[in-house]
Amino acid sequence: MLFRQILKEDSSCASYLVGCQSKASAAIVDPQLEVEGYIELAERSRVKITHVIDTHIHADHISGARKLALLTGAPIYLNESADVNFEFSSLRAGEEFRVGNRRLRAIHTPGHTQESISLLVDGRLVLTGDTLFVGDVGRLDLAGAGTAEQLYSSLFEKLLKLDDVVEVYPAHYGKSLCGKGLEEKPSSTIGFERRNNYALRSSSMPDFIEFVTGSPPVLPPDYLKIKKLNKGQT
């Protein structure tokens, strides 16, 4: 497996290259606006970018998905419920697809946004977007958010049903405003989060809802404008 985590320190964002060198194919997940680095990384790795995927419509930074798709010719993939003003390839809940020999499964994990997905790669690692962080979970008070009940289901009935050894790679870490108290460490495992994530300390739905709906963090600057841009609205 070709797998690279790309960290953007000033915004505490993480994007990913998931690929297959034998088939010379790769997906870029949650790209930042400065897309040239992804193209250079793919070229160095001798793969072609064939998939551009956003796990959800971001509110804290401008997505590079459309720019990267334009430069590479790769289609953009979003959950089928994404409300955007541009063409994309739909990913249905539970849908499996391949990037070369890599097998990805789209897990619909609404909560932080209605269209949020997580991507299980070869059953070994999961890209959790803004649903599950290291030490925290996604916030629910931004435009387009789902409900606390949806987030509970996404976490306890979907992600935490994965094996403890499955590695967790979120879209944010550290000082990101997309959660209340993210760890600086940008990756984890399902087992570690099950045991140590403060937001998951109780599997009781009332306790969880009380935690995620109380004392939200500071709002990201210009988040409504950013969300609008990422939806392709002018």
Residues 6+ apart with CB under 8 A from 24: 46, 47, 48, 100
What per-residue confidence (pLDDT) applies to 146?
96
Measured CA to CA, the distance from residue 180 to residue 136 in angstroms comes to: 7
Arithmetic mean of pLDDT, 74-84: 98
pLDDT band at 15 (very low <50, low <70, confident <90, very high): very high
Arithmetic mean of pLDDT, 67-83: 98
Q: What is the pLDDT of residues 133-148, one digit of tens each?
A: 999 999 999 999 999 9
Arithmetic mean of pLDDT, 197-216: 92
Q: Which is more confidently placed, 118 or 11?
A: 118
Amino acid at 232: G
Task: Read off the tokens for 88.
Answer: 């994309």
Question: Would you say residue 177 has pLDDT above 80?
Answer: yes
Choice among 70-84, 92-106, 200-214 with the minimum mean pLDDT: 200-214
What per-residue confidence (pLDDT) applies to 111?
97
Cβ–Cβ < 8 Å for 138, 109: no
pLDDT band at 185 (very low <50, low <70, confident <90, very high): very high
Measured CA to CA, the distance from residue 34 to residue 224 in angstroms comes to: 21
Amino acid at 66: R
Question: Would you say residue 234 has pLDDT above 80?
Answer: no
Helix boundaries (H) for the chain: 36-44, 65-72, 148-156, 190-196, 205-213, 223-230
pLDDT above 70 coverage of the chain, percent: 100
Q: Work out whether the CA dihedral 118, 122, 123, 127 comes out positive or negative.
A: negative
Domains of the chain: 2-217 (3.60.15.10)
What per-residue confidence (pLDDT) applies to 114?
98
What per-residue confidence (pLDDT) applies to 220?
87
Measured CA to CA, the distance from residue 77 to residue 52 in angstroms comes to: 6
Arithmetic mean of pLDDT, 57-65: 96
Measured CA to CA, the distance from residue 51 to residue 57 in angstroms comes to: 17
Task: Read off the tokens for 111.
Answer: 């909560």
What per-residue confidence (pLDDT) applies to 80?
97
SS3 assignment, position 66: helix
Cβ–Cβ < 8 Å for 20, 175: no
